[in-house]
Amino acid sequence: MRISEEATQKLSLLKGRTGLTPNILCRIAFCLSLKESGITNEKKDSQGMEFNRFTLTGEWDSFYIALLKIKLINDGLNPNEDPLNHFKEHIERGVSLLYNRVKEFKDLSALID
């Protein structure tokens, strides 16, 4: 999966702020987006960083896919229709949310309820 150039730049800055790698930041961003209400509409370019599935989700792949399907069902969408695109849209939205909320590593704790 390839994310947008904008998300790639934000991830680079977030890595500098937090010391976390882009794949870990994407995992956090994905979960942050799922927490938001409403359907994503983050149609962006695919000119940025590329991830393989295992790098993005690791040993927790089935967990992330289950979370995505639950969110899609709750939003009234078909969970089997273009899940990769929905996954990417949540990462894109989540990276923007994360970028706006995290200025340094300690800000990550504020994301936990």
Q: Please write the tens of the pLDDT for every residue from 69-92.
A: 999 999 999 999 988 899 999 999
Q: Which domains does the chain have, with CATH numbers?
A: 5-111 (1.10.1220.160)
Whether the CB-CB separation of 27 and 20 falls below 8 Å is answered with no
Q: What is the pLDDT of residue 106?
A: 87
Q: How confident is the model at residue 42 (pLDDT cuts 50, 70, 90)?
A: low
| CA 11-62-66 angle, 5° bins | 90
Which pTM does this prediction carry? Answer: 0.91
